[in-house]
Structure 1
Amino acid sequence: MSGPIANTFMIGAQKSGTTYLASLLAQHADICVSDPKEPQFFGKEFDRGFEFYSRCFARPDAKIRLDASTTYTFLRPRHLLDEDGAPGYTENIPQRIKDHSPNAKFIYIMRDPVKRMMSMIRHGARNDERSRGGTVTLQAAVERNPMALLISKYADQIERYLEVWDKSDFLFLRFEDLKDNPQEVTSQVLDFLELSPLTLSLDAAKEDQHGAYRYTTAGRVLNQLGGAKSLARKALPAPLHRWIKSSIATAPSDLTFTEIDVVAPLLDDDRQRVFELTGLRI
């Protein structure tokens, strides 16, 4: 390895407040969040090597170097590993992390799995005109994108990690608690990481609260400019950037779902297993 790498991982779940929590934690002097927030190194970017990965941390001497790649919980469940065409990564990401960061700690945020699934589908449709007042059946949407269901089965993911790691290495959180009381949840994380308390600036992290949205026509044009969007975020004052994003480039997603009651029971067993593994009701 060419330099320090992550020693703390926020591994999931996608669309459960990970970006917001990472931005809150970044306010602490002892925490360096990777840039990009989701380097995805131990998954699809592993072949790029540790020289690439170490460059993702602007402060390699920080006590906590945080990799917030939610894709590390896109794992194929153990019972489906040999099934051709089953969704999910087959790479043993938990073991890869153990091999290279053996003293790591993990933060796993979970959201009501059905709501998380719908938010993910809305997010995936943000460039689609159908997201403007469209209606889809949740069952059909999941059949088109089976990863939506896989990522919402948190117990399947947790069990893959607990084959390699001790439960004491994990802090399990609920999205709903983060939304209702970000200061309390952030303090819980800092205590888990053995860091000093911090009084947050909640306004500074507002831009990283990613509710479901769709791109407007102007937003789709800006999005096609690629790197220009990232440059604008860095160059413009934060209040101006937030205004452009919320008033010009995006609008609330109006995509609605039917047949929710058909899909929800598919997650009942996993909800119970999550409670048995973590003590949390989701």
Structure 2
Amino acid sequence: MSKYPDFMIIGGMKCATSTLHEQLALQPGIFMSEPKEPYFFSNDEVYIKGIEWYLSLFKEASENDLCGESSTHYTKLPTYPQTIKRLNQHCPNAKFIYVMRHPIDRLISQYIHEWTMRVISVDINSAVDQHQELIDYSRYTMQLEPYFETFGSDQVLPVFFERMLTSPQEELERVCEFIGYSGQPQWDFELDAKNVSTQRLRKSAWRDLLTETPGLRELRRWFIPKSFRDWVKDFWTMKQKPKLAPENIEKLEAIFDQDLAKLGSWLGIELNCKNFKTMVKESERNWVSVPQKFFSNSV
């Protein structure tokens, strides 16, 4: 009998979802998919592979294992509009973990990622105007509302990046309790943080060919001094953290404060860009009040 996932980490992008995925994978009795982000319910080109392909990602799980995956595309509206409908069709009883961080910090981290992948080539201040997704993926209530409306808030757990940094063991225990894990989870402090954006090189097909092809790699090490290799490497490295102009910070705070006010009302706290990091670190945050209209369980 095919096993369906019991839970999914649905985002947000650049909020330490990879770290949480790896920590859960280390717990006995939890099986996490490989690849980490199958994107099955979001990406059309993956969805056409069919549900049996997706379920094969969990075929190595033991009968009593809790199964999970982590696809940040599942909270990338409006880029992937079919996600909720597909999730409700195939996994109506799944639980969803949504990791959030300060919305401007998340935006900057996404920009660095997109710059390294050559999706974005302009500076960050131009990118904010030209790439709406940088803003949309940090509008957490916009991303969560369809989940509340379709599944109800009891199937969605809010997790905050900033609290995971300061209280990782407690947050792991809270996540495991939410997904129904009966064991005693342990956070592995030896596990390195995943996907550190500031350590990334910009994507380059010909550079990767020269540096990763086995024969060429040995020749490069033998005949090209390391000092010269490091000098060349600098051409693909983002040397300074992108800095938003004051007027753009003001603009973004106005947008995100409106979104955070609604998120805060659901959590029973007052929340905005200025107090975000302090408020989410203070204690566990769970849904207190979500508008009744989001309990209709309709697609």
Q: TM-score, normalising length from structure 2?
A: 0.72
* Correspondences of 1:122-271 after superposition (within 5 Å): 122-126=112-116, 136-138=123-125, 140-195=126-181, 196-203=183-190, 205-208=191-194, 210-215=196-201, 221-222=207-208, 254-259=240-245, 260-271=249-260
Structure 1 residues 224 and 119: alpha-carbon distance in aligned structure 2, compared to 1, 3 A threshold: farther
SS at match of 2:258: helix
Count matched residues: 244
In structure 1, the partner of 2:53 is 52
Matched residue, 2:76: 74
| Separation in 2, partners of 1:95, 1:216 | 35
Aligned with 2:110: secondary structure? helix
Distance verdict in 2 for CA 1:127–1:46, change over 3 Å: closer
Report if aligned partners of 2:100, 2:159 keep a CA contact under 8 Å in 1.
Answer: yes
Higher strand share: 1
CA distance in structure 2 between the aligned counterparts of 1:38 and 1:23, rounded to whole angstroms: 12
Partner of 1:3: 2
Give distance in 2, aligned partners of 1:54 and 1:189.
23
Aligned to 1:244: none
C-alpha distance in 1 between matches for 2:23 and 2:17: 10
Identity of aligned residues (%): 25
Query: Post-superposition shift, 1:96?
Result: 1.8
For 2:185 and 2:70, the matched residues in 1 are separated by 20
Aligned CA RMSD, in angstroms, stands at 3.0
Counterpart Cα distance in 1 of 2:62 and 2:22: 18
Q: What corresponds to 1:101 in structure 2?
A: 91
User: Cα distance, 1:122 vs. partner?
Assistant: 0.7
Aligned equivalent of 1:90, options 69, 72, 81: 81
Q: What is residue 20 of structure 2 aligned with on the other side?
A: 21
1:62: how far off? 4.9
1:114–1:152 Cα contact (<8 Å) kept: yes
The structure with more radius of gyration: 2
Letter in 2 for 1:89: Y
Contact 1:5–1:60, Cα closer than 8 Å, also in 2: no
Consecutive unaligned residues of structure 2, counting only runs of 5 or more, are 215-232, 277-299
SS in 2 for 1:183: helix
SS of 2:243's equivalent in the other structure is: strand
Deviation of 1:273 after TM superposition, in Å, equals: 1.0
Decide which moves more: 18-27 or 47-56: 47-56
Sort the Cα spacing of 1:12 and 1:218 in 2 relative to 1 into closer, same or farther, 3 A.
closer
TM-score by length of 1: 0.76
